Amino acid sequence: KQEVTQIPAALSVPEGENLVLNCSFTDSAIYNLQWFRQDPGKGLTSLLLIQSSQREQTSGRLNASLDKSSGRSTLYIAASQPGDSATYLCAVSDSGNTGKLIFGQGTTLQVKP
């Protein structure tokens, strides 16, 4: 059974810092991996999607990497801003491409001005 773990559970940094969020999964047979952002009382916003054949994806100040063989992904946020404060969720889609997502517990990020 696929399990997704995110470390740390919470993180507080001063504005301007670069930071890394970690995600690990137990079964390397995935179709893709995604990073989402969840703001309090809101739904999820997709940030980056990495297909199983890819190593990384970039969007603005965000860079996500994927090492499928070791079951790890990282989300790098450059020059953090208070607006980046949110919960970040990692999710994997199984190799059968059923569309089902298995989520990690999330990392709650606070960026202090």
Partner 1 sequence: SAVISQKPSRDICQRGTSLTIQCQVDSQVTMMFWYRQQPGQSLTLIATANQGSEATYESGFVIDKFPISRPNLTFSTLTVSNMSPEDSSIYLCSGEGAYGYTFGSGTRLTVV
Interface residues with partner 1 (CB under 8 A)? 34, 36, 41-46, 49, 89, 91, 98-106
| Burial of 95 per CB tally in 10 Å (0-12, 13-18, 19+) | middle
Residue 46 vs 81, nearer CB to partner 1: 46
Q: Please, what is the minimum distance in Å from the beta carbon of residue 14 to partner 1?
A: 26
Residue 53 vs 69, nearer CB to partner 1: 53
Residue 42 vs 61, nearer CB to partner 1: 42
Residue 81 vs 110, nearer CB to partner 1: 110
Q: Please, what is the minimum distance in Å from the beta carbon of residue 18 to partner 1?
A: 25
What are the residues facing 91 on neighbouring strands? 34, 103
Q: Please, what is the minimum distance in Å from the beta carbon of residue 98 to partner 1?
A: 7
- DSSP letters for 54-98: -SEEEETTEEEEEETTTTEEEEEE-S--GGG-EEEEEEEEETT--
Nearest to 74 by CA among 39, 94, 50: 50
